[in-house]
């Protein structure tokens, strides 16, 4: 399968109250055509900063310090602002959590949708812009699309606004769509409708998707691959069914154990003890070490190398992966396929 996006060793520094910190540290990931990669991890782990770094959309306090962002073979990190702007919106779409912040409250839906055809296809004929806008709103299943063109964002429900945002971002049939918590603020029914819509659009265009979420149920349901982030780094990655069936990094194991399972509902959830380290005071060795019950001396002094195995692209940054895989790490359950269906 064609690799659409490959980020290599991305490193982003940010200026915050604590000084200059590394928010994205040596992050590498691949997304293939027609597949979805879930980017998961606790709040502040660097998921959004990774996406913004790849798209040249960092806040003024941030700077991409190193790495490559190969999109269909071209390095986005080396493009000028004008060049990358041409790629965004046309070949890459990005949908954020709250469509209210990405839609202009002062412009009609029609104005905002038609803008994309004006900018990227140079269409100026009003009737043609209107026709194209109706077509794309119908594609995302907005009822009575023609009548709704003259409405303003505040006249739409949250789910409908998110559909408009999806319409704007898929209007040019992009090869890559980045969804940063795109369905988090919506109720479960609307969330499911939007996931189905995204999946249909993905199949129509063989689109690659990066799906940022806190929700492991959604990730398991929607995505093919997963990358788990902790403290600005990816700590485990691979096909999602394999990673969730047999997680090897103690952080992944902790995250999965903290997921309430409807199938085995219980009022006792296991939480990962402690908190993520602040970026200004990262441990010298493994970043998870202060919270890890399996830490050994080496973990305190050296950041773990990647351990890679099999031919499906699984890899984990933990000194004890081999023991974890062998099931000899005390307290780490060897999961079965059943565990995945429970999560999904
Ligand atoms: N505009 C900013 N200026 C400075 N630091 C920032 C800025 N935005 C985020 N950060 C910091 O960058 C780090 C990574 O944040 P990021 O937003 O990528 O996390 P996240 O994994 O997306 O979290 P969430 O799940 O809450 O969205 C955090 O320490 C955060 O405090
Ligand atoms: S490297 Fe050590 S501290 Fe880090 S997750 Fe693995 S066992 Fe725990
Ligand atoms: Mg975020």
Quickly state the pLDDT bin for 268 (edges 50, 70, 90).
Answer: low
- What is the 3-state secondary structure of 10-28? EEEEEEECCEEEEEEEEEE
Atom number of ligand 1 nearest to Cα 49: 18
Residue 81's SS3 state is: helix
Quickly state the pLDDT bin for 330 (edges 50, 70, 90).
Answer: low
Q: What is the largest CA-CA distance in the chain?
A: 69
Quickly state the pLDDT bin for 336 (edges 50, 70, 90).
Answer: very low
Q: Residue 188: pLDDT above 70?
A: yes
Owner of token pair 């520094």: 13
Compute the distance between CA of residue 140 and CA of residue 142 in angstroms, rounded to an integer. Answer: 6
Mean pLDDT of 64-72: 97
Q: Residue 96: pLDDT above 90?
A: no
Task: Please tell me what DSSP assigns to residue 141.
Answer: T
pLDDT confidence of residue 267:
55
Q: Which residues surround ligand 3, an ion (CB under 5 A)?
A: 48
CA dist list (Å): 215 to 27, 161, 198: 21, 21, 17
Q: From atom 6 of ligand 2, which residue's Cα is the shortest distance away? A: 318
Mean pLDDT of 234-259: 94
CA of 331 from ligand 1 middle (Å) equals 32
Q: Is residue 141 part of a domain?
A: yes
The mean predicted confidence, pLDDT, of the chain is 90
Q: From atom 19 of ligand 1, which residue's Cα is the shortest distance away? A: 44
Compute the distance between CA of residue 12 and CA of residue 194 in angstroms, rounded to an integer. Answer: 31
Q: Residue 269: pLDDT above 80?
A: no
Q: Is residue 223 part of a domain?
A: no
C-beta of 279 in contact with ligand 2 (< 6 A): no
CA of 296 from ligand 1 middle (Å) equals 30
Domain boundary among 125, 154, 171: 171
Q: Is residue 333 part of a domain?
A: yes
* Phi-psi sector, 234: left (phi>0), alpha (psi -120 to 50), beta: beta
Q: How many residues does the chain have?
A: 344
Q: Which of 17, 19, 49 to mutate to test the pocket of ligand 1 (most atoms within 8 A of CB)?
A: 49
The pLDDT > 90 percentage for the chain reads 76
Q: Are residues 165 and 102 in contact, defined by beta-carbon separation less than 8 angstroms? A: yes
pTM to 2 decimal places: 0.92
Quickly state the pLDDT bin for 342 (edges 50, 70, 90).
Answer: very low
C-beta of 233 in contact with ligand 2 (< 6 A): no
Q: What is the number of domains present in the chain?
A: 2
**Dihedral sign, Cα of residue 103, residue 109, residue 110, residue 111:** negative
Q: Is residue 149 part of a domain?
A: yes
Compute the distance between CA of residue 226 and CA of residue 10 in angstroms, rounded to an integer. Answer: 17
- DSSP string across 162-216: HHHHHHHHHTT--SEEEEESTTTTS-HHHHHHHHHHHHHHHHHHT-EEEEEES-H
Q: Is residue 87 part of a domain?
A: no
Residue 275's SS3 state is: coil
Q: Which of 320, 321, 324, 328 to mutate to test the pocket of ligand 2 (most atoms within 8 A of CB)?
A: 320
Domain boundary among 171, 189, 205: 171
Domain of residue 305 covers: 247-343
Q: CB-based contacts of 8: which residues, under 8 Å, 6+ apart?
A: 28, 67, 68, 69, 70
Q: Is residue 242 part of a domain?
A: no
Q: Is residue 209 part of a domain?
A: no
Quickly state the pLDDT bin for 261 (edges 50, 70, 90).
Answer: low
Domain boundary among 132, 148, 171: 171
C-beta of 236 in contact with ligand 2 (< 6 A): no
Residues with CB under 6 A from ligand 1: 14, 16, 23, 41, 43-49, 59, 61, 214, 279
Q: Residue 229: pLDDT above 90?
A: yes
Q: Is residue 127 part of a domain?
A: yes
Q: Which ligand is nearest to the CA of 19?
A: 1
Q: Which of 70-79, 118-127, 257-266, 270-279 has the lowest mean pLDDT?
A: 257-266
């Amino acid at each position: 399968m064609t690799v659409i996006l490959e980020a290599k060793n991305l490193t982003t520094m940010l200026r915050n109250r604590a000084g200059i910190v590394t928010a994205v540290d040596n992050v590498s990931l691949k997304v293939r055509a027609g597949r979805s990669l879930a980017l998961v991890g606790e709040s502040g782990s660097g998921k959004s900063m990774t996406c913004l770094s790849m798209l040249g959309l960092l806040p003024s306090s941030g700077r991409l310090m190193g790495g490559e962002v190969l999109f269909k073979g071209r390095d986005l990190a080396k493009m000028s602002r004008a060049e990358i702007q041409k790629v965004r919106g046309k070949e890459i779409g990005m949908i954020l959590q709250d469509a209210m912040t990405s839609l202009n409250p002062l412009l009609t839906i029609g104005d905002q949708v038609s803008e994309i055809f004006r900018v990227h296809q140079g269409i100026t004929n009003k009737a043609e812009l209107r026709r194209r806008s109706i077509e794309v709103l119908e594609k995302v299943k907005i009822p009575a699309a023609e009548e709704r063109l003259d409405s303003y964002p505040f006249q739409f429900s949250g789910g409908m606004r998110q559909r408009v945002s999806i319409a704007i971002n898929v209007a040019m049939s992009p090869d890559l769509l980045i969804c940063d918590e795109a369905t988090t603020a919506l109720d479960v029914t609307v969330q499911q409708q939007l996931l189905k819509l995204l999946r249909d659009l993905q199949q129509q265009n063989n689109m690659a998707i990066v799906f940022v979420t806190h929700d492991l149920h959604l990730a398991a349901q929607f995505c093919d691959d997963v990358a788990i982030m902790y403290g600005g780094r990816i700590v485990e990655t691979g096909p999602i069914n394999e990673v969730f069936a047999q997680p090897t990094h103690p952080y992944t194991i902790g995250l999965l154990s903290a997921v309430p399972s409807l199938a085995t509902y219980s009022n006792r959830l296991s939480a990962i003890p402690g908190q993520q380290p602040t970026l200004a005071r990262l441990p010298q060795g493994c970043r998870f070490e202060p919270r890890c019950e399996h830490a050994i001396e080496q973990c305190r002094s050296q950041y773990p190398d990647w351990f890679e195995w099999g031919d499906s692209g699984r890899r984990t940054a933990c000194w004890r992966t081999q023991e974890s895989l062998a099931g000899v790490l005390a307290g780490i359950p060897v999961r079965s396929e059943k565990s995945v269906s429970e999560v999904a």
